[in-house]
Homo-oligomer: A and B are copies of this chain.
Amino acid sequence: MLLILNKNVDEYEVHIIKEKILKMGFELNEINEPNYHILSIIGDTSKIDPDVFKAYEYIDKVVFVQEPYKKANRLFHPDDTHIKVGKETIGAERLSIMAGPCSVESKEQILSIAQSVKKAGASFLRGGAFKPRTSPYSFQGLKDEGLELLKYARKQTGLPIVTEIMSTEYIDEYVENVDIIQVGARNMQNFELLKQLGKTRKPILLKRGLSSTVEELLMSAEYILLGGNDNVILCERGIRTFENYTRNTLDLSAIPAIKKLSHLPVIVDPSHSTGMWWMVEPMAMAAVAAGADGLIIEVHNDPENALCDGNQSIKPEKFTLLMEKLKLIAQAVGRKI
């Protein structure tokens, strides 16, 4: 970490700052030129809160040399992380395709969709039981009954299930019943939830917040990893920008960025990011071409009567065609489906 001091700093101020650094247990280096005065802190600075130094009137800038995350950092863990879920491995050669409805609505609905997506080649069933909704007047999910129906569909099809957790109080229930626990975009910085999920050993699908940087996503992963749970899957699902033709702006450059910075697998959600069913296909294909390890896609047998997100769900037939097209793209980038 570098501290760039103000030109007008006097010796006494420099002394105070240097004392502080030494007391924190770090060593330091100094460059003092006519136009420059820099203190460089030597040691594991990931544990320093940079705001501590920004409070000093005579420190103009604080620059991180080392990234502020360690366990998520590829520097200290060069190999790709592979996450096993039943017979599936996320992050390996074969892409992980998760598909299913926004919300579980009924036994018939979830079973029918699960069978369709399995037949088309999906390897995970997604579906919401507890639903975060902007409006308190919108459908909030079937809750416990939804979980039961997901388990039923898993039993019938063999597909592992992925579903979103809303609060710490459900953790035991989810650990027992679910194969991958999803943390939604709005909870990406719900640090209490992250800490407690870090104590489990369940695979966690951590979605990027609407206004979170890639670095912040990795810091949130760090909370889980630091607890001892190595099974973190990252998910790019669109960020909020000024463009409002699409619901959010899918940031596919986050894929190579995450691959460079971290060893964790990353999948893409082309449904929530765009908010429009007819954009799912081109964005799913682009995501695979950009190097994603998988996709999470909303599929509904009757989108016009879906209880949520019908606008961005594709029908099973369309999903089947998409899987065919994805095979060609996967091949072109040395992956399988």
Contact = CB atoms under 8 A, between A and B. Distances in A.
A291 B274 CA distance: 16
Contact of A219 (B20, B136, B333): B136
A82 B206 CA distance: 40
Contacts of A190: 167, 186-187, 190
Interface stretch (A36-44, A116-124, A150-158): A36-44
Interface residues of A, number: 111
A179 to B, nearest CB: 22
Contacts of A136: 191, 195, 219, 222-223, 226
A306 interface: yes
Contacts of A215: 245
Nearest to A49: B138
Interface stretch (A83-91, A93-101, A107-115, A236-244): A236-244
Contact of A252 (B169, B239, B250): B250
A167 B166 contact: no
Contacts of A40: 31, 33, 36, 38
A128 interface: no
Contact of A31 (B31, B287, B308, B310): B31
B255 A251 contact: no
For this chain, the copies found in one complex come to 4
Contacts of A192: 166-167, 169
Contact of A245 (B166, B213, B285, B304): B213
Contacts of A329: 289, 329, 332-333
A213 to B, nearest CB: 5
Contacts of A61: 63, 65
B241 A253 contact: no
A187 to B, nearest CB: 7
Contacts of A31: 29, 31, 40
A310 B75 CA distance: 25
24 contacts: A4-B65, A35-B65, A35-B66, A55-B303, A55-B310, A55-B313, A61-B63, A61-B65, A134-B189, A136-B223, A167-B190, A186-B189, A186-B191, A241-B241, A241-B249, A242-B242, A242-B244, A244-B244, A245-B257, A256-B283, A282-B291, A286-B287, A289-B290, A329-B333
Given A52-B310, A167-B192, 14 more contacts: A35-B42, A36-B42, A36-B65, A54-B310, A68-B137, A132-B189, A134-B219, A167-B168, A239-B241, A241-B242, A243-B251, A253-B273, A260-B278, A282-B291
Q: Which 5 A-B pairs have the closest CB atoms?
A: A55-B310, A211-B211, A54-B311, A328-B332, A289-B289
